[in-house]
Amino acid sequence: MPIFSEMTHKYLRAKKKFPNVWCSGCGIGTVMGAIIRAIDHLHLSRDEVVMISGIGCSSRMPVYVDFNTLHTTHGRPLAFATGVKLAKPNLKVIIVTGDGDALAIGGNHFIHACRRNIDLTTILINNSTYGMTGGQVAPTTPFMKIGTTAPYGNRERGFDISKLAMAAGAPFVARGTVYHVVQLQKLVEQAILKKGFSLVEVISQCHTLYGRLNKEGGPVEMMKWQRDHAIPISAAGKVPAEKLKDKFFTGVLWDIDFPEYCEEYDKVIALAQSLAEGEGVRVKGKERE
């Protein structure tokens, strides 16, 4: 067994920023550990990895890790990431984003990144609320749950993020939880290895706001909830429908192949250049005029 800490600390900006800013027991730190171990397990060098985030509690993550990092503007990490990946296709670009960041202000970027199928790995930390700004309702807050902007219960349904991503065209969609941390690392690894846009939705706990407003207890109780409500996708079809009520599937939910955008773009460049060469001959000779 590896000495996890020794390995993990290698990737932390340990002297600068710790202890981290997250509330005691917040799931985001656990997700960070899983991402770091996944990167280490894949033997990626620190210089090969770019971690890009928007704004939010989850989006604080790049501050703490010693990769190439970009902490961008609210809702826009996928736009920045698209630029980085197109300019430097050999880099592994990992986006860390919150459910508000990715699906409210950044919703349009999200669906079009899925559709475009550019080789990005998106880790979407779903805590069902806007953590950083004080527990407002997010596009993922379930029906009738309480947020500071919905004290009488949220009358809208939350997005099913995975279905949204699949419908928008993402070829790799997975879901994990903070509680199932070993599985989470494996999902992140698979997502990084996938050629194309990959999404890992991580069910996480914001006990400070969402948990308190909804009387769901502290981090331990919320992680027990994750443990008791996650059903491995391999059990789909075997579990009777009544037992699936309020439950969610975890694991790799969707994995198909589709041409990747950077590779397609290289073909566009090659085609345009070959046509331009032909054109150049014609232009020189002015035969066409």
Partner 1 sequence: MADQINKIEPDGNPEIGEEKVHVFEAWCKKCGICVAFCPTGALTSDANGLPLLTYPEKCTQCGMCELRCPDFAIAVRPREKKEPKIVTTGESQ
Ligand X SMILES: Cc1ncc(C[n+]2csc(CCOP(=O)(O)OP(=O)(O)O)c2C)c(N)n1
Find the part of the chain contacting ligand X (CB under 6 A) among 130-138, 164-172, 236-244, 258-266: 130-138
Q: Is 41 left (phi over 0), alpha (psi -120 to 50) or beta?
A: alpha
List the one residue from 63, 181, 213, 233 that touches partner 1 (CB under 8 A): 181
> What is the pattern of x (binds ligand SF4, CB under 6 A) and - over residues 194-213?
------------xxxx----
- Residue 208 binding: pick among partner 1, ligand X, ligand SF4, none (C-beta 5-8 Å cut-off by kind): ligand SF4
- Residue 202 binding: pick among partner 1, ligand SF4, ligand X, none (C-beta 5-8 Å cut-off by kind): none
CA distance 24 to 177: 18
Sequence-separated (6 or more) residues with CB below 8 Å from residue 75: 54, 55, 101, 102, 104, 105, 106, 107, 109
Instruction: Tokens 């020189």: give the residue.
Output: 284
Q: Counting contacts by CB under 6 A, is residue 185 touching ligand X?
A: no
Kindly write down the DSSP assignment for every residue of 119-132, as one continuous string. S-EEEEEE-SEETT
Binding to ligand X in span 46-65, by CB under 6 A: 55-58
Please list the alpha-helical segments (H only) found in 146-260: 161-168, 181-193, 212-213, 219-229
- Residue 113 binding: pick among partner 1, ligand SF4, ligand X, none (C-beta 5-8 Å cut-off by kind): none
Find the part of the chain contacting ligand SF4 (CB under 6 A) among 31-39, 126-134, 160-168, 192-200: 126-134
**# of chain residues touching partner 1 (CB under 8 A):** 37
Bridge partners (DSSP) of residue 249 are 231
Sign of CA dihedral 49, 66, 185, 117: negative
* Nearest CA-CA partner of 194 in 99, 109, 93, 101: 93
Binding to ligand X in span 209-268, by CB under 6 A: none
**Given the complex with ligand SF4, which of 114 and 209 has the nearer CB atom?**
209
Q: Counting contacts by CB under 8 A, is residue 33 touching partner 1?
A: yes
Annotate 179-194 with b (16+ C-beta within 10 A) or e (fewer).
bbbebbbbbbbbbbeb
Q: Counting contacts by CB under 6 A, is residue 225 touching ligand SF4?
A: no
- Residue 62 binding: pick among ligand X, partner 1, ligand SF4, none (C-beta 5-8 Å cut-off by kind): none
User: Are the C-beta atoms of 96 and 51 separated by less than 8 Å?
Assistant: yes
- Residue 95 binding: pick among ligand SF4, ligand X, partner 1, none (C-beta 5-8 Å cut-off by kind): none
**CB atoms near residue 152 (< 10 Å):** 7
Contacts with ligand X, residue ranges (CB under 6 A): 55-58, 74, 98-101, 105, 125, 127, 129-133, 138
Contacts with ligand SF4, residue ranges (CB under 6 A): 22-23, 26, 28, 57, 127, 131-132, 206-209
